[in-house]
């Protein structure tokens, strides 16, 4: 991955990406708490999108 960080789509804060980041992982904005799903790591910039909200059927 090229990027080591992304910008929060909500508040603009910098969100660091973990070293072993994977597509599908959830990252949280350290400033506003918004959760994002890492959507694409193939391009020059990492793509994130707001994570799905917890559903009633979520769990084990």
Question: How many positions of this chain bind another protein (CB under 8 A)?
Answer: 16
Closest of 15, 12, 11, 13 to residue 3, by C-alpha? 15
Query: Between residue 1 and residue 60, which ones bind another protein under the rule CB under 8 A?
Result: 20, 22-26, 37-38, 51-52, 55-60
The least distance separating another protein from the CB of residue 51, rounded to whole angstroms, comes to 7
Closest of 44, 19, 43, 14 to residue 30, by C-alpha? 14
**Cβ partners under 8 Å of residue 50, min gap 6:** 9, 34, 35, 36, 37
The least distance separating another protein from the CB of residue 6, rounded to whole angstroms, comes to 16
Q: What residues line the site for another protein (CB under 8 A)?
A: 20, 22-26, 37-38, 51-52, 55-60
């Amino acid at each position: 991955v090229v990027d080591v960080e992304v910008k929060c789509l909500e508040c603009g804060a910098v969100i660091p990406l973990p070293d072993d980041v994977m597509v599908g992982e959830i990252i949280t904005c350290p400033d506003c708490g918004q959760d994002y799903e890492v959507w694409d790591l193939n391009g020059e910039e990492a793509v994130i999108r707001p994570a799905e909200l917890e559903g009633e059927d979520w769990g084990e």
